[in-house]
Chains A and B, each alone.
Chain A
């Protein structure tokens, strides 16, 4: 299974990005092979609809779960339609968040926990 983690940089030690739609990078981990891949988030520089764009990209790449901080309503709608599970991240770095996800220390998120445009106001 592929899981995506919102990251501020493109390495295992990069800090988590609490934002979904506007996070800098996604760490995409293939859990069966423990294979890591870092991709820039196309939503990060988007004029609008960042979360929609980010969610679509992850769906296209076959991601089945995401580990993040805050997800807006439109992104959540796309994620749910795509059957992607959403988990609230625990930890400081991408690596820690992934371990906590693997150890089932993360809680699933059923609905959006951020208003529209929340991510653009941070940073």
Chain B
């Protein structure tokens, strides 16, 4: 069982929900927490795991053996991202443009191009209580995060449930984070902005064929718009987390909601059970 927590809009409470689920579950079983928001991972701030292992993650980019190159231009011709420029007497490689497809070294008639590793970030692993913690950290200046997200998800152990904290948005990094999960929680806030981006996120999970459900965070009892949307789209509204000053104050100190609202644990355990019921068999 692997559940992703996504949102569309940033700042709705993905990490709050993911961390609370993890802490609620960890009292009774081992679980994995996979922070796939590799551009700005923050699950560790709330969970405070002991990070014991750090592994660099690399992607293959072309390296040129100048002596073998005939400047035929085949590589530049096939590269859809223009990561190579072939001039009459030189070749320029732009590793940051490369999407690591391998086409250039595959088609190079002289075998002048070979793959060379380029580090894009690191994976850090550790644990806290019953939680096995994994997150990725993308290097500054790297624009393409999906390979690192994939590497975080490759740490997935099949024998324990996993919670994936997804990045915000609905583009490639999110697709990478939620692909293959059994269920996707969509966290929203009761604002026009939250609803707008929830609509996008719900469309995304539908397109991917991932069953989803909605969590309203910071609910102040005026959630009619979200409720209507969920009814219209046949999306289960699984939990409302009340707007709570104490929780906000705790969050601002880096404390998870359950530290000040221990009774919410039951609500998160119920949420987990509901997810399991709706999840892909």
Within B192-239, the residues touching A (CB, 8 Å) are none
Selected from B86, B87, B97, the residue in CB contact (under 8 A) with A49 is B97
B92, CB-defined interface residue at 8 Å: yes
Q: In the bound complex, how far is the Cα of B94 from the Cα of A74, in angstroms? A: 8
> Are A52 and B80 also in contact (CB < 8 A) when A74-B97, A81-B92 are?
no
A114, CB-defined interface residue at 8 Å: no
Q: In the bound complex, how far is the Cα of B90 from the Cα of A53, in angstroms? A: 15
> Are A81 and B87 also in contact (CB < 8 A) when A46-B82, A48-B82, A52-B82 are?
yes
Within B72-113, the residues touching A (CB, 8 Å) are 76, 80-83, 85-88, 90, 92, 94, 97
A14, CB-defined interface residue at 8 Å: no
- Min C-beta distance of A119 to chain B, whole Å: 14
Residues of B within 8 A of A52 (CB): 82, 85, 92, 94, 97
Interface SS of A by simple majority: helix
A82, CB-defined interface residue at 8 Å: yes
Q: In the bound complex, how far is the Cα of B126 from the Cα of A106, in angstroms? A: 60
User: Do the beta carbons of A49 and B83 come within 8 Å of each other?
Assistant: yes
Residues of B within 8 A of A49 (CB): 81-83, 94, 97
Residues of A within 8 A of B85 (CB): 52, 55-56, 78, 81
Q: Mark A42-60, 1 if CB is under 8 A from B, else 0.
A: 0000111110110110010
Chain B residue with minimal CB distance to A74? B94
Residues of B within 8 A of A47 (CB): 80-81
User: Do the beta carbons of B81 and A81 come within 8 Å of each other?
Assistant: no
For the side of the interface on A, what is the size category? Answer: 10 to 19
- Count of residues in B whose CB is under 8 Å from the partner chain: 13
User: Do the beta carbons of A48 and B92 come within 8 Å of each other?
Assistant: no
- Min C-beta distance of A116 to chain B, whole Å: 9
Chain A residue with minimal CB distance to B97? A49
Residues of A within 8 A of B83 (CB): 49
Residues of B within 8 A of A56 (CB): 76, 82, 85-87
- Min C-beta distance of A111 to chain B, whole Å: 16
Residues of A within 8 A of B86 (CB): 56
Selected from B81, B82, B88, the residue in CB contact (under 8 A) with A59 is B88
> Are A78 and B92 also in contact (CB < 8 A) when A52-B97, A56-B76, A56-B86 are?
yes
Q: In the bound complex, how far is the Cα of B94 from the Cα of A32, in angstroms? A: 35
Q: Mark A62-104, 1 if CB is under 8 A from B, else 0.
A: 0000000000001001100110000000000000000000000
- Min C-beta distance of B74 to chain A, whole Å: 13
Q: In the bound complex, how far is the Cα of B83 from the Cα of A56, in angstroms? A: 12
Within B35-50, the residues touching A (CB, 8 Å) are none
Q: In the bound complex, how far is the Cα of B76 from the Cα of A5, in angstroms? A: 24
A-B contact pairs, 14 of them (CB 8 A): A46-B82, A47-B81, A48-B82, A48-B97, A49-B82, A49-B83, A49-B94, A50-B82, A56-B85, A56-B87, A74-B97, A78-B87, A81-B85, A81-B87
